[in-house]
Structure 1
Amino acid sequence: MPELLMIALYITGGLVLLYFGADWLVQGAVTLALHLGLSPLIVGLTVVALGTSVPEALVSVQAAIGHQGGIALGNVIGSNILNIALILGLSAFFNPLKVDSHLVKADVPLLAGATFMLVVLLEDFHISRMEGAFLLLCIVGYVAGNIMTVKRTSPEEDKIEGMEIPEDSGKTLWRDVGFLILGIVTLGFGANFLVTGAVDLARIFGLSEALIGLTIVSIGTGTPELATALMAAFRKTPDLAIGNVVGSNLFNIMFVLGIAGLVAPLDGKGISSVDLYVMLGVTILLLPTVWTGRILDRKEGFLFLAIYVGYLYHLWPA
């Protein structure tokens, strides 16, 4: 029992540190980027998307260093399923979503393509260093393409509600740097605690590391996306709700797995074809809504939620 209590403390402490670390990192990075003259839309598409993927990145890198490839891959696959099936499902269930942004409409087919590419790469359930480097090159191309697209938009389209350019002063600049450093350090400790607790939990109950990564770890690292998407849905800004999920999933595939695979080859022991096809399936289900401009209504939100519950039921041992 004392060992279980310690594991619970490690996992809970890790999740809390990841939540606050991600919040501080995004807060510091966004205001610092605005201070340095980057446009609000570029900041929203790059800095915020990257910031909300940092928990997944650090957890997967920590797992890769410890040769726990099942946690690293399970974290990304589980997060991508959770982001669409649970987070968008909940958002649509409470407040139906309609996509208007041309950037978001372009990114959903791109996400479907990236997800299919990942399924092909994981045919052998392994990510090599070369494949990791390839994925990182893909995310560089994606960010560069977004920046070029934004530069062709009008100043009015370049605005994001609630993201104002701050007044430049030395005091606020140092505060932003402080938040940035504090967020990175906190995330580092949080990732270490969460992976340590997850590995010990798998060992005690005889569960695979992949199962822990697909469920507990992915749910924990998906907290920033859940908070952002639900808040966006309640504030009736559906583009932000869907854009946050789509951007996060793209960064998970190309940035998180790219950097983790570059650190150490990832062996996806415990990952199954079902996990990959569920991830691909829920992504493809988004395409009709985005292409036709239809509303993602409560019925479809409930369908996504039912898929996620069914997936968890399939995963968890009796």
Structure 2
Amino acid sequence: MNTLWIWIQFAACLGLIILAGSRLAKYADLFGERAGLSKVWIGVIALATVTSLPELATGISSVTIIGQPDLTFGDIFGANLINLLVIAVIDILYRKGHLLPLLGSGVVLTAALGVTITAAAAVFIFLAQDNIDLTVFGHVSLYSFLLLGLYILAQLMIFRYKPPVGENAVDLRPAPPAPSISTSRIVAYFLGAALATVIGGIWLGFIGNQIVEITGLSSSLVGTLFLAVSTTAPEIVVSISAVRLFALDMAVGNLVGSVLFNIGVIIFIDDIFYRAGSILQHVDPIHVLTALFAILMSTIVIIGILFKPRLWLKPWAGLDVVLLAAVYIGAMLSLFFLAKPA
């Protein structure tokens, strides 16, 4: 197969996801305005869910059509690493000061819940590798149900959480003019963008398998690097756009909220579609290492919000930004040298 053609497809698929993902977020935000939903809810729940559709579609195609569960797990954990890295990127883009100390406690709660569910996934993968696992309905791991339960519990906690009195949420966006588009058309455009995003995700699954074949790299590495970069494109586009509008809580809430959805929902759905048994027993244990790196990066974000460090390397960038980038690079190097080749 022509190597150049594969990379052309990869670039075209990336462009489709960026375009569809940006439209998807736009109409989700617009619908939220019509429905009277809060900005935090839109960022952590609505946007995090819809912008994670590429990861979901890629995962389903990877386990059903291609039969490569490591592709989807690499995509899930790799996407989480990139989402956390993007926080460092938007911190640099926000020129009015250091971004993390400006975020509200709701973002801290979401990030802490992300640490919890990521740690649980790492433990469950480790246990499943030693056949310490139970299956439900023939092949679905009990651990997948537990991850879904943790996700639902996390959403309930976020929905019911009330920030301390006097906490100012950073949302300086000007009030948009009332759109003339009807609600029914908003929904139609939203569904069209969602369909395009899903198609792009399924396409990515095939491209990822071809990259494994032509490069000889491991499925875990390809999923964590190439697929994760592409499927997180909607989150990147949405968050950078939100920062430009000074909707900081929405921008970061979208990123840390995606961590919850990727692990709690996508692993559960992938396990349902994977018919060869418990999916946690058939993945490379290297994903546990990736999960630990994600936990480390989430902890840096939480400390950056709460501690409000004074050490800035530039007028607008803090030391925690550099640490996030360093940990991500360390994760990629570790996977490159430790992951088993295809």
When the two structures are superposed, what TM-score results if normalisation uses the length of structure 1? 0.84
> What count of residue pairs does the alignment treat as equivalent?
313
Judge conservation of contact 1:225–1:245 (CA < 8 Å) in 2.
yes
Cα deviation, 1:83-127, whole Å, max 9, x if unaligned, reads 22x312223344422244121122222222122111111215669
Structure 1 residues 256 and 99: CA distance shift in structure 2, 3 A: farther
Q: Which one has more relative contact order, counting CA pairs under 8 Å at least 6 apart?
A: 1
Structure 1 window deviating more from structure 2 (234-243 vs 97-106): it is 234-243
Q: CA deviation at 1:35?
A: 3.2
Judge conservation of contact 2:25–2:238 (CA < 8 Å) in 1.
no
Relative to its length, the structure with more helix (as a share) is 1
Q: CA deviation at 1:305?
A: 1.4
Q: CA deviation at 1:202?
A: 0.4
Structure 1 residues 160 and 263: CA distance shift in structure 2, 3 A: farther
Judge conservation of contact 1:21–1:187 (CA < 8 Å) in 2.
yes
Cα deviation, 1:126-157, whole Å, max 9, x if unaligned, reads 69443323322322232233333369999x97
Q: Give the distance between the partners of 1:142 and 1:165, measured in 2 at CA.
A: 34
DSSP-derived class of the 1:316 partner? helix
Match of 1:220 among 227, 230, 240: 230
* Aligned residue number for residue 142 of structure 1: 154
* Aligned residue number for residue 88 of structure 1: 87
Judge conservation of contact 1:14–1:189 (CA < 8 Å) in 2.
no
Judge conservation of contact 1:133–1:261 (CA < 8 Å) in 2.
no
Aligned AA for 1:117?
Answer: A
Tell me whether 1:73 sits opposite 2:83 in the alignment: no
Judge conservation of contact 1:65–1:263 (CA < 8 Å) in 2.
yes
Identical amino acids, percent of aligned pairs: 19
Judge conservation of contact 1:114–1:250 (CA < 8 Å) in 2.
yes
Match of 1:111 among 99, 107, 114: 114
Q: Give the distance between the partners of 2:127 and 2:160, measured in 1 at CA.
A: 36
* Aligned residue number for residue 22 of structure 2: 23
* Aligned residue number for residue 285 of structure 1: 300
When the two structures are superposed, what TM-score results if normalisation uses the length of structure 2? 0.79
Q: Give the distance between the partners of 1:19 and 1:302, measured in 2 at CA.
A: 26
Q: Give the distance between the partners of 1:196 and 1:237, measured in 2 at CA.
A: 36
Q: Give the distance between the partners of 1:291 and 1:158, measured in 2 at CA.
A: 15
Following superposition of structure 1 onto structure 2, how do residues 96-245 of structure 1 map, counting pairs within 5 Å? 96-97=98-99, 98-124=101-127, 128-149=140-161, 161=173, 172-245=182-255
- Pairwise CA RMSD: 3.2
Structure 1 window deviating more from structure 2 (294-303 vs 22-31): it is 294-303
Tell me whether 1:46 sits opposite 2:45 in the alignment: yes
DSSP-derived class of the 1:269 partner? coil
Aligned AA for 1:35?
Answer: R
* Aligned residue number for residue 137 of structure 2: none
Cα deviation, 1:39-78, whole Å, max 9, x if unaligned, reads 4443333211211211212111221223211011001111
In structure 1, stretches of 5+ residues that fail to align are none
* Aligned residue number for residue 310 of structure 1: 330
